[in-house]
């Protein structure tokens, strides 16, 4: 992604931030939770001009041939391009970026204009044993776009120029879209034709269709629209041994599907250039509302009933008590009549035993579709939630969530700037195992925070995607940074959480992929035979090992 005001050291663009004005409870509450000093010292990132990168390892003859192949303006070696493509957006990426530490920057960044250039580039790189790192929006949080420690030069392949809607089949509700299209570009082009893909991850503004497919991503409305693998009908991928195109049919019985090899391949087999996606007409309404439950278990029971007996929601996000308390701490303070109404509502909820900060848990629930159908769905859904003790809060909370749904990552930059470690992890399991996994995983994270000088720490979780058979858990953890050992501290917490997840029957990843950070744990999920099978596929499609080595499969 080549934006002039991109934060090379953080999330998003320089002209935006998470607004903390009018939220007077946030800093006092955070200081209490994390044991932070009363006076916080801000540590800004180093200036870009202070960053020193190793020289490109591509010599002049190689660079000349690359420019002849792709065009002079398509190849970049400048400091900003190499810095912006050196990392993703994981915690350890941002810690290193803010400090100006870029140990393995790409030796060049290229921007192919079409599939023909992608194919020519891969053939050229194979002949010279040069590594290729596919790059969409760079929003990965698992190290999937960082070049490896390797004697071979590495080139990052940014697909930003391949961002078009190729065709739309209105009858079949299918659209062919180039892999470099960002979320806003996908939706703008489809919306103009009256359709939507319905895929809205929190990284929506800064991630791409190809990245979603390559990591088996899930959007915030995936409960209703499906994960990206449910939306993907066919792909074209350029591999080192040729172009592979899966057939554009709704289903097939022609053996194991090649499509399933490419969805989730994380750039290790080739470069996805375009995909046929299952799209839907734009919904007439998006009606999202809030509920409060006395206990997490009550909210889980309501979600399970909604998925198994209906009506299945478009979106469902159930926060545990700590996350519900965090939402309360981030709430705006009002004045006048609105302030009076807020105090009355707080008193009333307290009488009902639904005070945020105790055991109360917040549920965001929503339905997309024709207005009349959505009204009918809400009547049934409200009854289900009430049967489990849910207290309806109305649309105000849903509208507030929609306004801020994509700005929360900016708050991480603010926290990093004052010495707070903040990161996320996610997993999934069955309904019968959900509470067990939740308790084991969050307990392991809390213990690891305490053991690594993170202070008391704060761990909060929500159920982010649900199915008739189970759901996913998305956890955010915060603690005081161990100054001078920030990355070692983070790795300790990360390892504890990952080992706890696998031991408790969770999946290694529900929607972030594997990247580099999880590669050493993959055999714990799929076993040694499964790992050998994946390596055999890698060897068949990338025999020289130039495609994103060390990602997904440990080098």
Q: Where are the alpha helices (DSSP H) in 394-513?
A: 395-404, 408-416, 431-451, 486-503
Task: Retrieve residue 264's tokens.
Answer: 């989730």
Give the position of tokens 């420690």.
149
Q: In degrees to the nearest 10, what's the CA dihedral of 49, 50, 55, 58?
A: -40
Q: How far apart are CA 25 and CA 487, in angstroms?
A: 29
Q: How far apart are CA 353 and CA 346, in angstroms?
A: 11
Task: Please answer whether residues 156 and 133 qualify as being in contact, where contact means their C-beta atoms are separated by less than 8 angstroms.
Answer: yes
- CA-CA distances (angstroms) from residue 192 to 179, 195, 219, 298, 520? 19, 7, 21, 41, 44
Three-state DSSP at 165 gives strand
Q: How far apart are CA 373 and CA 378, in angstroms?
A: 9
- Spatial CA neighbour of 232 closest among 267, 172, 278: 278
| SS3 letters across 329-352 | HCCCCCCHHHHHHHHHHHHHHHHC
- CA-CA distances (angstroms) from residue 323 to 83, 301, 364, 500? 34, 19, 12, 21
- Side-chain-facing half-sphere of 28: CA atoms under 13 Å: 5
Please name the residues in contact with 323: beta carbons below 8 A apart, sequence gap of 6 or more: 362, 460, 461, 462, 476
- Residue 9: CB atoms within 10 A of its CB come to 25
Q: How far apart are CA 304 and CA 10, in angstroms?
A: 37
Q: How far apart are CA 264 and CA 175, in angstroms?
A: 20
Residues found in the chain: 555
Task: Retrieve residue 214's tokens.
Answer: 């390559």
Task: Please answer whether residues 108 and 76 qualify as being in contact, where contact means their C-beta atoms are separated by less than 8 angstroms.
Answer: yes
Phi, psi of 326 (to 5 degrees): -65, -40
Q: How far apart are CA 76 and CA 80, in angstroms?
A: 9
Q: In degrees to the nearest 10, what's the CA dihedral of 116, 119, 123, 125?
A: 100
End-to-end CA distance of the chain: 27
Catalytic residues: 474
């Amino acid at each position: 992604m080549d934006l002039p005001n991109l934060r090379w050291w953080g999330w998003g663009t320089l002209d935006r931030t998470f607004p903390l004005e009018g939220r007077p409870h946030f800093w006092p509450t955070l200081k209490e939770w994390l044991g932070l000093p009363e006076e916080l010292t801000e540590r800004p990132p180093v200036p870009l001009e202070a960053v020193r990168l190793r020289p490109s390892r591509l010599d002049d003859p190689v660079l000349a041939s690359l420019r002849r192949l792709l065009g002079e303006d398509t190849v970049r070696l400048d400091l900003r391009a190499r810095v912006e493509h050196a990392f993703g957006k994981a915690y350890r990426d941002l810690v290193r970026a803010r400090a100006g530490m870029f140990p393995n920057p790409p030796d060049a960044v290229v921007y192919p204009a079409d599939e023909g250039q992608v194919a020519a580039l891969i053939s050229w790189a194979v002949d010279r044993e040069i590594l290729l790192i596919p790059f969409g929006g760079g929003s990965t949080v698992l190290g999937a776009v960082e070049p490896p420690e390797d004697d071979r030069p590495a080139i990052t392949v940014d697909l930003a120029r391949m961002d078009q809607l190729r065709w739309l089949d209105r009858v079949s509700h299918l659209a062919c879209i180039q892999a470099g299209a960002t979320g806003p570009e996908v939706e703008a082009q489809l919306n103009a034709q009256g359709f939507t893909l319905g895929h809205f991850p929190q990284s929506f503004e800064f991630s791409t269709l190809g990245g979603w497919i390559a990591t088996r991503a899930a959007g915030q409305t995936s409960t209703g629209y499906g994960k990206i693998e449910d939306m993907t009908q066919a792909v074209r991928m350029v591999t080192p041994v040729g172009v592979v195109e899966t057939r554009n049919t709704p289903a097939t019985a022609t053996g194991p599907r090649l499509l399933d090899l490419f969805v989730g391949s994380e750039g290790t087999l080739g470069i996805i250039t375009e995909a046929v996606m299952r799209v839907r007409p734009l919904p007439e309404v998006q009606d999202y509302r809030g509920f409060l439950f006395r206990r997490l278990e009550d909210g889980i029971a309501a979600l399970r009933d909604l998925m198994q007996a209906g009506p299945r929601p478009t979106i469902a996000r159930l926060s545990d008590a700590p996350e519900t308390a965090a939402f309360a701490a981030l709430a705006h303070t009002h004045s006048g009549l609105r302030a009076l109404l807020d105090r009355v509502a707080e008193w009333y909820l307290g009488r009902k035993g639904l005070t945020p900060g105790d055991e109360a848990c917040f549920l965001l629930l929503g339905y997309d579709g024709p207005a009349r159908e959505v009204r009918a769905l809400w009547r049934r859904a409200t009854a289900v939630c009430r049967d489990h003790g849910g207290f309806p809060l109305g649309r105000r909370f849903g509208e507030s969530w929609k306004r801020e749904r994509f700005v929360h990552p900016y708050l991480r930059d603010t926290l990093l700037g004052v010495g707070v470690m903040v990161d996320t992890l996610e997993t999934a399991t069955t309904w019968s195992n959900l509470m067990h996994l939740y308790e084991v995983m969050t307990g392991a994270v809390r213990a690891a925070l305490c053991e690594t000088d993170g202070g008391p720490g704060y761990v909060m979780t929500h159920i982010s995607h649900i199915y008739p058979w189970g759901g996913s858990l998305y956890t955010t953890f915060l603690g005081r940074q161990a100054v001078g050992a920030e990355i070692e501290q983070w790795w300790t917490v990360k390892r504890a959480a990952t080992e706890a997840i696998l031991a408790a029957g969770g999946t290694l990843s529900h929607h972030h992929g594997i990247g580099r950070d999880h590669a050493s744990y993959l055999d714990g999920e799929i076993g040694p035979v499964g790992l050998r099978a994946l390596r055999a596929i890698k060897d068949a499609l990338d025999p020289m090992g130039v495609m994103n080595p060390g990602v997904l499969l440990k080098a």
